[in-house]
Amino acid sequence: MIVAYFWSIKPKAIPFALLAMAVDRFTLSRSKNVGFYKSLGTGKGETFTPADANSLRWGLVAQVHDLESFDQSLVVKRWRKNSVDEFRAVLEPISSHGKWAGKEPFVATAKDWTGPVAAITRARIKWHQNFRFWSSVPPVTMSLKSAPGLISAIGIGEAPIGLQGTFSLWESAAAIKEFAYKGAAHQKAIADTATYNWYSEELFARFAVKDMRGSIH
């Protein structure tokens, strides 16, 4: 089972967030309840440059065996204690293409899903392609925000530069397919990716949203 959290914090909790980003990995790596995981910073998802970063919202995506136990784990409780609101989505993979940190973390198990869908896109951008990538992103993000069927979307990142992506929520699988395969800006970005080969690693995954509480607006 996959669970995604996003927490909003007050400015006074920023030191906690920065420390947690550094130390949570040690706690999570020792947990028998946790498989793949990633602690995430967030941003507006408009330019995917450091200027996008939002120091008041942070996230975590994890593959867990026992959701209720993880929801009461030390890592989650610490974030919850230091946050002013929490978004949580319980997800089941529909499809996943590519790798994340050298792994294929999401095994598709959901079938015939007709409810809300979440999508995670992320990429490791080649350093010499950063500026070219940044110049190509704005038209895509603008079209994303106005895409029919989009519920919400935010930028996610493992680092200020080079390791970035998007977490988005959609009304249906049909809505995200419409954006991905028929949107002119997105199609150009796909063509540019093939031309410039600016990713050293990329992943696109879709998930059935089995449960959701809170908001990432």
Q: What is the DSSP letter of 114?
A: -
pLDDT of 79 reads: 97
Residue closest to 57 by CA, chosen among 202, 168, 157, 171: 157
pLDDT of 183 reads: 57
- How far apart are alpha carbons 106 and 95 in whole angstroms? 8
CATH of residue 181: 3.30.70.100
Token duo for residue 69 = 């136990």
Q: Which residues of the chain have a pLDDT value below 50?
A: 138-139, 161-162
In tens, the pLDDT along 80-138 reads 999 999 999 999 999 999 989 888 999 999 988 999 999 998 877 765 555 555 555 54
If one counts the domains in the chain, the total is 1
Contact 47, 138 (CB under 8 A): yes
Contact 48, 155 (CB under 8 A): yes
pLDDT of 187 reads: 60
pLDDT of 139 reads: 47
Distances in Å between the alpha carbon of 49 and those of 3, 21, 43, 75, 175? 26, 19, 9, 28, 27
A 10 A CB-CB count for 133 gives 22
**Encoded amino acid at 113, one letter:** W
pLDDT of 17 reads: 95
- How far apart are alpha carbons 50 and 162 in whole angstroms? 10
Q: What is the DSSP letter of 50?
A: G
What does the buried/exposed string (b/e) look like for 197-217 if buried means 16 or more CB atoms within 10 Å of the residue's CB? Answer: ebbeebbbbbbbbbebeeebe
3-state secondary structure of 43: strand
Structural domain harbouring 35: 2-213
